[in-house]
Amino acid sequence: MSALVIRGVRKRFGAQEVLKGIDIAAESGEFIVLVGPSGCGKSTLLNIVAGLEQPDAGDVEIAGRVVTRVPPKDRDIAMVFQSYALYPTMTVRQNITFGMECRGVPKRQQAEALARTARLLQIEALLERKPAQLSGGQRQRVAMGRALVRDPLLFLFDEPLSNLDAKLRVEMRMEIKQLHRRIGATMVYVTHDQIEAMTMATRIAVMHQGAVQQFADPDTVYNRPANLFVARFMGAPPMNTVAARLVGGERPVAVIGAGRPDEIRLTLPAEGGPPPGWRNREVVLGIRPEAIAEAGRRFGAEEGSFSTLEAPVEMTEPTGAETIVMMRLGGEPVLGRVAPDVRPVVGGAARFAVDTRRICLFDPATEQLIA
């Protein structure tokens, strides 16, 4: 059964259409991440799922029940907010039990649920404190506790980690993921951070300008982005996208900077190539930086599925774990990721290996993935 179905949801604020018909369905136990740049409509969509906003059109269904006109409190959901939204005048204990108090849950049952949640999140020692006396990470935990204590059908997270410092953010990211594995609840998580999306999601909905650009598992979103927006949004550094021309006989060849003395010819793999109609046409070629490495790298592939080429090196960025190289392919700037001990000479030329299986081709007019 689908835990959550969003069907044709539209929302307009004045003249601006912030959601242009959203369709998403989540299976029970899934961790769905809505990711996109600010203003893409992801938080509005989450508010509509929560019932805090009304859609202009479309329906929201939770566990098989249409809840579009049902108030938030009757949707059996819990939500964690970016600012944590802890009640400042209440203690941690009161913050966590307030929801049960509103619902008239018997005191004994409240105490049991509180004890269970406090143990799970290791906040037993904080129960009598006020939110102002807690650190950012502790507030985050209490906000999670307020959601967990209710044992709802659906958990909603609205950028819950964006107020934490980098180290704590990584820790809490893992904790939330473990928590999801442990309790197996359905979660919808909004973030603008594509790393959070990649690491936590079972499926990612990439949103842009009020529309879902791609809704798929992280591997597919990363390796086969549905369009140029997704290709350029996901990944750090993002996918290289350069203009190219498709030529070739039995096996297609992508030419970057065709006609230039330094043009680059990349022979594409035989299977999964572009449809025949694309021969001799302009395309946008996308390739992840990690698919361009120092010459000699085999990418765990057989002979012939990668090409070797020579390119001028413009800049290097040693990060410790790897070295990021900015080079020119057929005149176009392209990033590659080479081994940490490889330091190509800036201003000179170096040889690189390219994993041609990882190449994506996009239609320059529609920006959609061709192959």
Partner 1 sequence: MAEAKAAALAPGARNPLGRGVVYAVLAVFAVFYLAPLVVVVLNSVRTAQDIGATSVIGWPRELAFDNFSRAWGSYCIAQTCAGIAPYMWNSFLLVVPATIISTLLGALNGYSVALWRFRGDNWVFGLVTLGVFLPEQMKLIPWVLVLRELGLTNSISGLVLIHVVQGISFTTLFCRNYYVAIPAELLKAARIDGAGYFRIFWRIVLPLSPPILIVTVIWQFTHIWNEFLYGVTFTSGPQQPVTAALIALSVSVSEAPQYGVQSAAVLLAALPTLLVYLFGGKYFLRGLTAGAVK
78 binds partner 1, rule: CB under 8 A: yes
> Are the CB atoms for 80 and 156 separated by under 8 Å?
yes
34 binds partner 1, rule: CB under 8 A: no
99 binds partner 1, rule: CB under 8 A: yes
276 binds partner 1, rule: CB under 8 A: no
Q: Which CB sits closer to partner 1, 71 or 249?
A: 71
88 binds partner 1, rule: CB under 8 A: yes
Taking the complex as a whole, the smallest distance from the CB of residue 146 to partner 1 amounts, in Å, to 8
By rule CB under 8 A, what count of residues binds partner 1?
Answer: 24
Region near partner 1 per CB under 8 A, out of 85-93, 292-300, 333-341, 355-363: 85-93
Residues 6+ apart with CB under 8 A from 231: 225, 238, 239, 241, 286, 360, 362
8-state DSSP, 39: T
Count CA atoms within 13 Å of residue 328 on its CB side. Answer: 14
253 binds partner 1, rule: CB under 8 A: no
Tokens, residue 42: 């992801």
Taking the complex as a whole, the smallest distance from the CB of residue 180 to partner 1 amounts, in Å, to 19
Q: Which of 48, 77, 187, 244 binds partner 1 (CB under 8 A)?
A: 77
25 binds partner 1, rule: CB under 8 A: no
Residues 6+ apart with CB under 8 A from 162: 82, 169, 191, 192, 193
C-alpha angle 142/145/147, rounded to 5°?
120
82 binds partner 1, rule: CB under 8 A: yes
Q: What are phi and psi of 5, to 5 degrees?
A: -125, 125
Q: Which of 44, 47, 214, 316 binds partner 1 (CB under 8 A)?
A: 47
50 binds partner 1, rule: CB under 8 A: yes
Taking the complex as a whole, the smallest distance from the CB of residue 54 to partner 1 amounts, in Å, to 11
Q: Which of 8, 23, 27, 83 binds partner 1 (CB under 8 A)?
A: 83
Q: Which CB sits closer to partner 1, 30 or 159?
A: 159
User: Whole-angstrom Cα distance, residue 354 to residue 309?
Assistant: 8
14 binds partner 1, rule: CB under 8 A: no
> Are the CB atoms for 50 and 152 separated by under 8 Å?
no
CA distances, 113 to each of 3, 105, 110, 118, 245 (Å) = 23, 10, 5, 8, 63
Task: Please report, as residue ranges, which positions from 101 to 140 form the binding site for partner 1 (by CB under 8 A).
Answer: 102-103
Please name the residue that has the structure tokens 């069907």.
7
> Are the CB atoms for 95 and 146 separated by under 8 Å?
yes
299 binds partner 1, rule: CB under 8 A: no
Residues that bind partner 1 (CB under 8 A): 47, 50-52, 71-73, 77-79, 81-83, 85-90, 98-99, 102-103, 146
